[in-house]
Amino acid sequence: MTLGTGNREPGTGAESSEQRAASSLRSPFPVPGSRFAGTALLYITLILGAAISLFPLFWMVSASLMPTGEASTYPPRVLPSRVTFEHYGALFTRLNLGRYLLNSAVIALTVTIASLAVNSMAGYAFAKLRFRGRDRLFRLLGAGLVLPTQVAMLPLFLLMKQLGLINSYWGVIIPGLSSIFGIFLIRQYAQSIPDDMLDAARIDGASELRIYRSVVLPGIVPILATLAIWTFLATWNDFMWPLIVLSDESHYTLPVALANLVGEHVQDTELMMASSVLTIFPVLLVFLFLQRYYIQGVMAGSVKG
């Protein structure tokens, strides 16, 4: 159950440099000509790829720090002539983005915490508890994975309207509380819990709820972390359903507010870039600090599933 990432990297293991050089010949990547030229070409491609991956984000930050109008000049500027934070100030004073930041945070955090409880309980039960129709139910859920969520949106809107949840946090939160993907992820991981451990707890007279809390949950912490990060990022970044269900400005999440702002403020490049930075910054922070869990989860969850 360890999630160490380091042990696969070259140079951290006990491999000698000769072994490494020899195994490079068997690399599936075609290394043309001499080994040195091949390696150099490899690194040039990798660094070029990294530059392309990061450049739009770098320019976003850079343009957000430019004085008004400087991002719309010819020739285009890559770096600000002088750094200014005035646009970030404007976000909170003129544009009320603090409100949207709060909306996004409340929705994303609530969905993350609540869905973790709902999905982990279901995932554990599908993995370890026996009940009639379990496998048939699970196959039905699996079939649901092919259904595009957009198909559900029209009737879901009408349902939410009946329930009086249009234009409320709950309208976004409730449909996000349970996910088939989340149940699958937890189930797959929970299957590795030894049955003996659960039975021992039962013999000791522990209730099923207590077993779940004190045996199961501690055993599946890594996958809970993966699912938590996944859910937080997906909810924070979600656009279409919040756009539909949140019609009043006061409840907008950041992506919805941003799509709305760009209509009015498309000329204010620096201001729009500052808004984009504010929207992306929280998810980037979560990703960079917890990427170990996230990346391992993506790699493990998908391939075996």
Partner 1 sequence: MPADGTSAAWLFVAPALVLIGVFFFLPVAAALVLSLTDFDIYAVASTSNTRFVGLRNYAQLLHTPLFWSSLRNTFYFAIVGGPLTIGVSLGAALLLNAKVVRWKSVFRTIYFTPFVTTLVAVAIVWRYLYHTRYGLLNYALDAVGIAPIDWLGDPRWAMPAIIVMAVWKNFGYNMLIFIAGLQSIPEELYDAANVDGAGPWRTFISVTLPMLGPTLLFVGVITMIGYFQLFAEPYVMTQGGPLRSTTSVVLLMYEEGFRWWRMGYAASIAFVLFVVILIATLIQIRIQRGRE
Contacts to partner 1 from residues 83-102, by CB under 8 A: none
Degrees, nearest 5: CA angle 295-54-69: 140
Asked if 295 is part of the footprint of partner 1 (rule: CB under 8 A), the reply reads: yes
Rule CB under 8 A: which of 236-275 touch partner 1?
Answer: 236-237, 239-240, 244, 254-256, 258-259, 262, 269, 272-273, 275
Binding-residue total with partner 1 (CB under 8 A): 111
Rule CB under 8 A: which of 109-138 touch partner 1?
Answer: 118-119, 121-122, 124-126, 129-132, 134, 137
Question: Which one, of 216, 192, 233, lies nearest residue 119 by Cα?
Answer: 216
H, E, C per residue of 123-152: HHHHHHCCCCCHHHHHHHHHHHCCCCHHHH
Binder to partner 1 among 3, 106, 180, 193 (CB under 8 A)? 180
Query: In the bound complex, what is the minimum distance in angstroms from residue 72's beta carbon to partner 1?
Result: 5
Binder to partner 1 among 18, 33, 209, 218 (CB under 8 A)? 209
Question: Which one, of 236, 294, 279, lies nearest residue 61 by Cα?
Answer: 279
Interface pattern 18-57 for partner 1 (x via CB under 8 A): --xx-xxxxxxxxx---x---x--xx-xx--xx-xxx-xx
Binder to partner 1 among 1, 147, 197, 200 (CB under 8 A)? 147
Neighbour count for residue 269 (Cβ, 10 Å): 18
Binder to partner 1 among 3, 105, 106, 141 (CB under 8 A)? 141
Binder to partner 1 among 212, 215, 224, 252 (CB under 8 A)? 212
- DSSP track, 23-57: HHTT-SS---SSHHHHHHHHHHHHHHHHHHHHHHH
Instruction: Say which DSSP state 74 is in.
Output: S
Asked if 144 is part of the footprint of partner 1 (rule: CB under 8 A), the reply reads: yes
Residue 83 or 262 with smaller CB distance to partner 1: 262
Check if the beta carbon of residue 188 is closer than 8 Å to that of residue 305. Answer: yes
Q: Compute the chain's Rg from CA coordinates.
A: 25
- Token reading at 206: 């522990």
Query: In the bound complex, what is the minimum distance in angstroms from residue 166's beta carbon to partner 1?
Result: 11
Asked if 191 is part of the footprint of partner 1 (rule: CB under 8 A), the reply reads: no
Contacts of residue 189, defined as CB under 8 A and 6 or more positions apart, other chains included, come to 123, 220, 222, 223
Q: Where are the alpha helices (DSSP H) in the chain?
A: 17-24, 35-64, 86-93, 97-128, 134-144, 149-162, 169-176, 180-190, 195-203, 208-211, 217-219, 221-237, 240-245, 254-264, 269-304
Query: In the bound complex, what is the minimum distance in angstroms from residue 83's beta carbon to partner 1?
Result: 19
Asked if 175 is part of the footprint of partner 1 (rule: CB under 8 A), the reply reads: yes
Query: In the bound complex, what is the minimum distance in angstroms from residue 255's beta carbon to partner 1?
Result: 4
Residue 99 or 286 with smaller CB distance to partner 1: 286
Query: In the bound complex, what is the minimum distance in angstroms from residue 305's beta carbon to partner 1?
Result: 8
Residue 158 or 197 with smaller CB distance to partner 1: 158
Query: In the bound complex, what is the minimum distance in angstroms from residue 181's beta carbon to partner 1?
Result: 11
Dihedrals φ, ψ of 83, to 5°?
-85, 130
Binder to partner 1 among 102, 109, 158, 221 (CB under 8 A)? 158
Asked if 197 is part of the footprint of partner 1 (rule: CB under 8 A), the reply reads: no
Query: In the bound complex, what is the minimum distance in angstroms from residue 128's beta carbon to partner 1?
Result: 9
- State which amino acid sits at residue 15: E
Examine residue 75 and say whether the peptide bond preceding it is cis (omega within 30 degrees of 0). yes
